[in-house]
Amino acid sequence: MTSSSSPSPHASVLDLAPVVPVVVVADVSDAVPLARALVAGGLPAIEVTLRTPAALDAIRAIAAEVPDAVVGAGTILTPEHVAGAVAAGARFLVSPGWTDGLLDAMKASGVPFLPGVSTTSEVVALLERGVREMKFFPAQAAGGTAYLKSLAGPLPQARFCPTGGIGPECAADYLALPNVVCVGGSWMLPADAVAARDWRRVEDLARAASALRR
């Protein structure tokens, strides 16, 4: 997921931090303070999922008002999602799975992308298409650390961001694997803290997550 918006022209969004927060924004007014709290805690790569009507406006607001954030769009399912997310200012794209059509649209978008996989055949198919960085989803349900460890031998060129069911109790186990660059999760965004707009708590949880470096 190489990007010129990363620390160097050859760096990847995946290398910015050990954890990529997976964010569901219901109220667009929460987007900027939430993003600022995550960035202050050391998590600059932020995936805003396209699961709510506020998602694209949230991406637009973060892109405009939080310059230190690298905001991306998640739950990308269609070429129309790709176009809308990029137009809103998304600097990377994440899908839970992929098809040839969706992959072509993400490749053509001009921004880094992370297609989702859960099987060895999907990984091999993406490698054949020149894609080396992937989302492993749903991580815990699809085999967890044992599955990813088994892929490292035959497919060492694949790099993963596991997402799905990952929390602070198991994130370090994933990050210890040679083919895992970062993990995705939302544990630094507990629902009660977001509802109370307790951004200091979010920042503290983000700081703890950012300390989970390999």
Which residues participate in catalysis according to the annotation?
47, 135
Relative orientation angle of helices 31-40 and 199-210, to the nearest 10 degrees: 40
Give dist(CA 124, CA 27) in Å, integer: 39
Query: Residue 151 and residue 159: Cα distance in Å, rounded?
Result: 10
Distance CA 14, CA 45 (A): 8
CA angle 126, 4, 16 (to 5 degrees): 75
Distance CA 22, CA 18 (A): 13
Unique residue bearing structure tokens 């008002």: 65
DSSP at 55: H
